[in-house]
Amino acid sequence: MPEWVVLGRVQRARGNRGEVAVDSFTRGPERFLEVGAVHLVLPEGEELGEFQVEEAWEHRGQAILKFKGVDTISAADALKGSDITIPESQRITLGPDEYFIDDLAGCQVVEGSNEKQYGRVTAFLEQPGGTGLLEVEGELLIPLAKSICYEINIAERLIRVRLPEGLAP
């Protein structure tokens, strides 16, 4: 059984041809076309099956997908909330200084100026239209911005930060 990677989450039906608006966790709508077939899984684990991506484009900063055989608003509505997944073997190869969001979980967060340890990343919280947040040990939320998280070393499981005044505990 392959491990699965989430590329996005269906937010809602969009349009009258069965298109869906998607929160994309990948490089852009073209990535959905590259993989072609995706698996949709509801949050409670129910598999909806394999779907072929017919069309994919961006509209106002959001990915819009059209799946083969999903041709009505009601059919698109049935997909709401599902994760769009692919086998881990289809993950893209990353370049230098790139990482997958799920690789951040478990990384130790350290203040770069004084080596103060804040704890380990326990979750990544998406922020619509903004920078996502790293949740550190349930105590601290840190924006995942290059100006704050200036060094991310997945191999060493380490994130060095410069927390702005008022953000540090």
Report whether 118 contacts 109 (CB < 8 A).
yes
Which pLDDT score, from 0 to 100, does residue 1 have?
A: 46
Residue 160 binned pLDDT confidence (cut-offs 50, 70, 90)? very high
Which pLDDT score, from 0 to 100, does residue 128 have?
A: 67
Q: Note the pLDDT tens digit of each residue in 118-155.
A: 999 999 887 766 788 999 997 899 999 999 999 999 98
Which pLDDT score, from 0 to 100, does residue 66 have?
A: 98
Domain boundaries, the chain: 4-90, 101-161
- Please name the CATH architecture into which domain 4-90 falls: Beta Barrel (2.40)
Q: Is the pLDDT of residue 157 over 80?
A: yes
In this prediction the pTM is 0.71
Which pLDDT score, from 0 to 100, does residue 101 have?
A: 83
Q: Note the pLDDT tens digit of each residue in 44-90.
A: 889 999 999 999 999 988 899 999 999 999 999 999 999 999 998 89
**CATH number belonging to domain 101-161:** 2.30.30.240
